[in-house]
Structure 1
């Protein structure tokens, strides 16, 4: 095998490794984007649930104040 053929083979192997790395990074990127989207959805749900709980607590406080005023 000539030096040129060895050089071309080495380059070809490096290109194959780079392609594998690119595919791996693309898959990892896709997975990270999915995770980020899921976390954003979970965060939105938690914010909504927190707002609902806050509203219910405020409503209870208003009812308690109303009962307190009616008894006084």
Structure 2
């Protein structure tokens, strides 16, 4: 094989590898965006659950206070 043929083969291999890397980067970028969207959704859901938990805690504490007040009477 000549030097030129060898260089062409190396260049073709390099081009192939670059194409693979580009596809990998595009796939990872897409996955990253999906994960960011999922994280935002989960953060919103978590905030809503924390709020509901706090409301339930407040109601339970109020019920306990009323029950204690009834015991005293």
TM-score, length-scaled by structure 1: 0.84
Taking the aligned partners of 2:69 and 2:53, their CA distance within structure 1 comes to 24
- 5+ long unaligned stretches in structure 1: none
Q: Mapping of 1:27-66 within 5 angstroms?
A: 27-66=30-69
**Structure 1 runs (4+) greater than 2 angstroms displaced:** 65-69
Return the TM-score normalized by structure 2. Answer: 0.83
Q: Which ranges in structure 2 are unaligned for 5 or more consecutive residues?
A: none
Aligned residues: CA RMSD: 1.5
